Chain A
Amino acid sequence: SAVISQKPSRDICQRGTSLTIQCQVDSQVTMMFWYRQQPGQSLTLIATANQGSEATYESGFVIDKFPISRPNLTFSTLTVSNMSPEDSSIYLCSVTRDGGEPQHFGDGTRLSIL
């Protein structure tokens, strides 16, 4: 399975600032996803990062707040913009290839907003 590296692993940020989270995969993958996970809760899909086109956002998430880049088949970034305490969460990157493969996850970025 793919090895997925997320940076940073954790951060504490000030209200109103922005943070960019990086997701690097050790091999080419078709699909990359960004999730949010509140402590003790399940996964909420933010968006699907598409290579060469705009990301596809789920209901309740907008590009101005969570801009996503996917410049190639092994890398994606998620920016959390104009952060507020409600954005404190774990942000996870996951990947999958074609052919019915499952998703594989990075270890996440733990984000706290003061």
Chain B
Amino acid sequence: QKEVEQDPGPLSVPEGAIVSLNCTYSNSAFQYFMWYRQYSRKGPELLMYTYSSGNKEDGRFTAQVDKSSKYISLFIRDSQPSDSATYLCAMRDYGQNFVFGPGTRLSVLP
């Protein structure tokens, strides 16, 4: 079993849809959780960063963490064509051990 698994995608949705992106992990030592957005020909850009279980909201984005189920999600409301990118989940332990998911490619169609 891989340390981090992510919905494989690709995912295509119409503009205005609610998007749900999901990752599961196996290592209970992971304490910090991140979502990155990567546009073509760019490096990953940090979108959301959270520590505790529960929800964290930033504009149209909501990150959800359930440590008991080892499951994290990113919700995008009112999706826009500019949200079309690859989304990577990532997590780390109390040290410097970072693990990235394989990424989900999202296309938002106008």
Contact = CB atoms under 8 A, between A and B. Distances in A.
Interface of A: 1, 4, 31, 33, 40-43, 45, 48, 92, 94, 96, 100, 102-108, 110
B46 A1 contact: yes
Nearest to A6: B43
29 contacts: A1-B46, A31-B96, A33-B98, A41-B102, A41-B103, A42-B100, A42-B102, A92-B43, A96-B96, A100-B31, A100-B51, A100-B92, A102-B32, A102-B34, A102-B46, A102-B49, A102-B90, A103-B34, A103-B46, A103-B98, A104-B46, A105-B36, A105-B43, A105-B44, A105-B45, A106-B43, A107-B41, A107-B42, A107-B43
Contacts of B88: 42-43
Contacts of B98: 33, 45, 103
Nearest to A43: B100
Nearest to B103: A42
Contacts of A105: 36, 43-45
B101 to A, nearest CB: 7
Interface of B: 31-32, 34, 36, 41-46, 49, 51, 88, 90, 92, 94, 96, 98, 100-103, 105
A106 B45 CA distance: 9
* Residue from B41, B49, B96, B101 having most chain A Cβ neighbours under 10 A: B96
Nearest to B93: A100
Q: Is the interface of A mostly helix, strand, loop or mixed?
A: strand
Nearest to B35: A102
A41 B96 CA distance: 22
B44 to A, nearest CB: 5
Nearest to B40: A39
A40 B9 CA distance: 12
A8 B51 CA distance: 35
* Residue from B51, B92, B98 having most chain A Cβ neighbours under 10 A: B98
Contacts of A43: 44, 88, 100
